[in-house]
């Protein structure tokens, strides 16, 4: 077994026994590169076990893609259940190339039967394109698939997985849903918002790190790939840094808008922007606020700049259902503030704020029902902002607060939340 599998991990062998296993590892490098690369850090026996487990998972995960219809897919999953039953019953095995290796791992490491069943059941859910009812159902799916897979992988290298392993796998599964959101936001993910998924994944990830803190070092190859989760935030910040020299004052960035809204320059005195979309329509000057609202000026700021078209920011805004307008990168310098103001009722548009660089000394203030409340908006998360409530931003820190801000023409995204 070892000789079969080591071939494709970079160790030269003149002779190899099983071309099917060789091809499996080649497929894993392409179809599951993050787990494959993490497994390289394991010793030879553990690496072989991990790759067999991932190969088994690959066989399950590809069924919805290769099955001609759902009935054929269900029959294939049932075939795997019967094969697994043979392993646990010590009956003769089918000649499928991976089964003998899988059987050895299951028996040697006493992997519970219900873990394998849960993984098969979870993957069979992929045959059904109907939407998850809510985030909790999606989380359950991720625990049954990515979470259970990580538990099996950890057990296969001789470690009893704790709750942190299941959490880590669940977080990885949620990130997988976020990565594929643009493909499934109208089907299986239609009841869940992209940012809701990312925020939950982030929270579970950091909780998992605490639980995994005292795990043995040997666990690393089975869980290491989850450390890629913060890369989403890092990519966001790296993209932001590309625009560092392009910030200008609000009046320069929004000449037409400032002409029609005399208070903008005063309210946003210290604000700087990089416009990522421009207006496609010129409006006549008017001081009539109601008229400006009725003609929906901001909704015409939908022409992407070249910088925006080729940026990671565009990938973020593409995740939303409603049309995205007036996209800009904003900066509030240290020790400066954005005065209290009201933009418009949220029935007109929905404002989204994505802090990129911020800290606990940046106050996001809201005046509501006679009270003034302060909220901390964490970096890397997206927030729906009710611009019909009087609000302000005060930066008491020594660092600039930078955020991606845009509007949504419609309520489709915010309606995904149960408690808005």
Digit-by-digit pLDDT tens for the chain (420 residues) are 444 444 333 433 334 446 777 777 888 888 898 999 999 999 989 999 999 999 999 999 999 989 989 999 999 999 999 999 989 988 776 667 788 889 999 999 999 999 999 999 999 999 988 899 999 999 999 999 999 999 999 999 999 999 999 999 999 999 888 878 777 877 888 888 777 788 888 889 999 999 998 899 999 999 998 888 887 657 756 777 888 888 887 767 666 665 555 566 667 778 888 999 988 777 776 666 666 666 667 778 888 998 898 888 888 888 888 889 989 999 999 999 988 888 765 566 788 999 988 888 899 999 988 899 998 898 878 888 887 888 999 999 888 899 999 988 877 776 655 433
Angle CA 410–314–177, to nearest 5: 80
β partners of residue 395? 362
Which of 2.60.120.10, 3.40.50.200, 2.60.40.10, 3.40.50.970 would CATH assign to domain 244-416?
A: 2.60.120.10
- Which DSSP letter does residue 226 get? G
| DSSP-based helix, strand, coil % in the chain, nearest 5 | 50, 15, 35
Q: Which two tokens stand for residue 369?
A: 């029902």
**Contact between 212 and 178 (Cβ < 8 Å):** no
Q: What are the angstrom distances between the C-alpha of 133 and each of 154, 171, 187?
A: 31, 19, 11
Q: What is the pLDDT of residue 293?
A: 62
Q: What are the structural domain ranges in the chain?
A: 2-229, 244-416
pTM: 0.60
Enter the tokens of residue 407: 């509007």
User: Quick one: how many helices (H) and strands (E) in the chain?
Assistant: 21, 12
CA angle 120–122–124, rounded 5-degree value: 70
What's the CA angle centered on 199, arms 317 and 242, to 5 degrees?
Answer: 45
Residue 360 confidence (pLDDT): 85
- Looking at residue 254, its pLDDT comes to 64
Fold of 2-229: Farnesyl Diphosphate Synthase (1.10.600)
């Amino acid at each position: 077994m070892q000789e079969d599998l080591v071939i494709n991990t970079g160790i030269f062998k003149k002779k190899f026994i099983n071309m099917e296993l060789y091809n499996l590892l080649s497929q894993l490098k392409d179809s599951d590169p993050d787990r494959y690369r993490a497994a390289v850090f394991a010793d030879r026996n553990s690496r072989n076990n991990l790759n067999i487990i991932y190969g088994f998972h690959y066989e399950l995960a590809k069924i919805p893609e290769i099955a001609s219809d759902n009935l054929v897919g269900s029959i294939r999953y049932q075939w795997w259940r019967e094969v697994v039953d043979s392993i646990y019953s010590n009956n003769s095995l089918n000649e499928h190339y991976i089964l003998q290796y899988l059987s050895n791992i299951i028996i040697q490491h006493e992997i519970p039967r219900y873990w394998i069943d849960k993984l098969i059941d979870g993957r069979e859910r992929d045959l059904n394109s109907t939407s998850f009812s809510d985030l909790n159902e999606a989380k359950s799916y991720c625990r049954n698939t990515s979470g259970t897979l990580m538990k099996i992988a950890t057990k296969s290298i001789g470690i009893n997985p704790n709750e942190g392993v299941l959490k880590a796998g669940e977080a990885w599964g949620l990130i997988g849903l976020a990565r594929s959101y643009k493909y499934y936001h109208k089907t299986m993910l239609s009841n869940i918002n992209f940012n809701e998924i990312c925020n939950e994944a982030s929270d579970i990830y950091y909780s998992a790190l605490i639980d995994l803190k005292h795990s043995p070092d040997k666990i690393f190859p089975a869980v290491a790939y989850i450390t890629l989760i913060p890369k989403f935030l890092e990519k966001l910040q790296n993209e932001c840094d590309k625009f560092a020299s392009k910030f200008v004052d609000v009046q320069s960035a929004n000449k037409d808008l400032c002409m029609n809204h005399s208070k903008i320059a005063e309210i946003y005195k210290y604000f700087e922007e990089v416009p990522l979309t421009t207006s496609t329509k010129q409006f006549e000057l008017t001081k009539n606020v109601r008229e400006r609202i009725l003609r929906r000026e901001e909704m015409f700021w939908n022409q992407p700049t070249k910088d925006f078209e080729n940026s990671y920011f565009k990938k973020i805004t593409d995740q939303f259902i409603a049309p995205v307008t007036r996209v800009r990168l904003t900066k509030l310098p240290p020790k400066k503030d954005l005065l209290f103001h009201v933009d418009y009722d949220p029935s007109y548009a929905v404002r989204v704020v994505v802090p990129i660089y911020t800290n606990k000394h940046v106050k996001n203030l809201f005046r509501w029902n006679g009270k003034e409340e302060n909220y901390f908006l964490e970096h890397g998360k997206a927030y729906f902002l009710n611009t019909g409530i009087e609000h302000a931003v005060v930066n008491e820190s020594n660092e600039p607060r930078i955020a991606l801000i845009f509007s949504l023409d419609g309520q489709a995204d915010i309606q995904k939340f149960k408690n808005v």
